[in-house]
Amino acid sequence: MKLKTWFGVIAVALTVFAVQAQEMTDDAIKERIKPVGSVHVAGANADAQAAEGGGGTRSGEDVFGSACVACHGSGVLGAPKVHVAADWQPRVDKGFDTLMNHALNGFNAMPPRGTCGNCSDDEIKAAIEYMIEGI
Ligand code: HEC
């Protein structure tokens, strides 16, 4: 009886040890880390695919809607309002290169890249073109 109990204890101990040992293998650790990495990579791929769907870059309208509308929608801080010729014409007269330069590097209260840190130069350009469209 006493011996059987002892074997029982050893059996349980071995089982617990085996499970713990298994959990601590590299494979188990990799297996636990893997889903996080996969999700991250999948997200990056999805972003890349979304960007490709838009011709490699976000459209000017999209960039404007996410990064520029806060100020250029209603003229916050004196920002020229989207599609308002009277606001934009004197600026357009300076030449597109000047507008582009000011949009990328900042100009008075206009923050560099309109605060869009992940916008490419092409996306900033598209956003300006969208704002001055039809002027
Ligand atoms: C925090 C507010 C704010 C945001 C956000 C913002 N702008 Fe502006 N922007 C301004 C202001 C204010 C001016 C006018 C600056 C001046 O003339 O003194 C301006 C001016 C400009 C000009 C004209 C520059 C010139 O030479 O006359 C361009 C082009 C421009 N913004 C592009 C953008 C683009 C593109 C975005 C989004 C990616 C953006 N802005 C986001 C505030 C903002």
pLDDT in tens, 19-78: 565 555 777 666 666 655 544 444 444 444 444 444 568 999 999 999 999 999 999 999
> Helix H segments across 24-133?
26-53, 60-63, 69-72, 85-92, 96-105, 121-131
Same-domain status, 48 and 67? no
Residues 74 and 117 in one domain: yes
Which residues constitute the domain of residue 23?
2-53
Q: Is the domain of 9 the same as that of 47?
A: yes
Q: Judge whether 54 and 62 are in contact, CB under 8 Å.
A: yes
Percentage of the chain beyond pLDDT 70 is: 70
Ligand 1 shell residues, CB under 6 Å: 63, 67-68, 70-72, 76-80, 91, 94, 98-99, 102-103, 107-111, 113-116, 119, 124, 127-128
Indicate if 75 and 31 belong to the same structural domain.
Answer: no
Same domain, 97 and 120: yes
- The angle, 0 to 180 degrees and rounded to 10, between the axes of the packed helices 121-131 and 96-105 is 120
Q: Whose CA is nearest to atom 28 of ligand 1?
A: 103
**Domain count for the chain:** 2
Whether this model's pTM surpasses 0.85: no
Distance (Å, rounded) from C-alpha 43 to C-alpha 20?
33
